[in-house]
Amino acid sequence: MNWHFVGLTIVALAVGACGDSSLPDSAEVDNPNIATAEALIDAFYSFDGDALRATLVFAEASIPQILYYQGWAEGGNYEVLNRMPCVVDDEENISCSITVKDDLIEALDLDVNVTDTFHLTFSGNRVVHVETSSNDPDAYYEAQSWVEENRPGLINEPCRGFFAGGPTPGECVKAMVRGYAEFAASGGRSE
């Protein structure tokens, strides 16, 4: 018997049994909803509203906000810098985080990139709810408030239905970008 071969085989099996922490969690590998979540993110960043709507067929209450956000992201020239794999949060929830570069942060002249996270709730194998969160810096929200207070004429019409299914999210974000640039130029001072 080749004891050298047997010894190497035992070492290889022992190392394999220890696992590789860089591999996905088995719950994620075995969870078919991961593929569904990834498909939703593909549809979102394709900027194809019909493709996105098809992924949301069982999440009707989420459609206005998510479709609006897609139009906002397209109009704001969101560029994906880092798309992390979707992960299982618990039995019914999966989250997908994507770091982007966009016109709003550039208008503020900030040297940061923002990570948006999509939180998907499943019932069985169906997406029934989607919401988003972001790690936007405080200056983003300060600029938004400043524009709402100091430049309402700039945003009132294009931002009708703001993140609630409004008809012109692309025009809204472009108006906000102009307002954010004015906010940055003013040093955030009200007029």
Burial readout 129-163 (b: 16 or more C-beta within 10 A, e: otherwise): bbebeeebeebbeebbebbbebbeebbeebbeeee
Question: In which element (H, E) is residue 40 found?
Answer: helix 33-45
Of 14 and 93, which is predicted with more confidence?
A: 93
User: Is there a contact between 74 and 48 (Cβ–Cβ < 8 Å)?
Assistant: no
Burial readout 10-41 (b: 16 or more C-beta within 10 A, e: otherwise): eeeeeeeeeeeeeeeeeeeeebebbebbeebb
Considering all CA atoms of the chain, what is the largest pairwise distance in Å, rounded to the nearest integer? Answer: 88
User: Is there a contact between 70 and 40 (Cβ–Cβ < 8 Å)?
Assistant: no
> Which pLDDT belongs to residue 115?
98
Indicate whether 11 pLDDT > 70. no
Question: In which element (H, E) is residue 100 found?
Answer: strand 93-101
Q: How far apart are CA 54 and CA 39, in angstroms?
A: 10
> Which pLDDT belongs to residue 22?
40
* 52, two tokens: 């996105």
Which tens digits make up the pLDDT trace of 115-127? 999 999 999 999 9
CATH class of 32-186: alpha beta
Closest CA to 94 of 39, 135, 43: 39
> Which pLDDT belongs to residue 191?
62
pTM: 0.82
Burial bucket for residue 177 (CB in 10 Å: 0-12, 13-18, 19+): buried
Which tens digits make up the pLDDT trace of 41-94? 999 999 999 999 999 999 999 999 999 999 999 999 999 999 999 999 999 999
Domain range summary for the chain, segments of one domain joined by +: 32-186
* 130, two tokens: 């989607």
> Which pLDDT belongs to residue 168?
96
Across 22-36, 75-89, 156-170, the highest mean pLDDT is recorded for 75-89
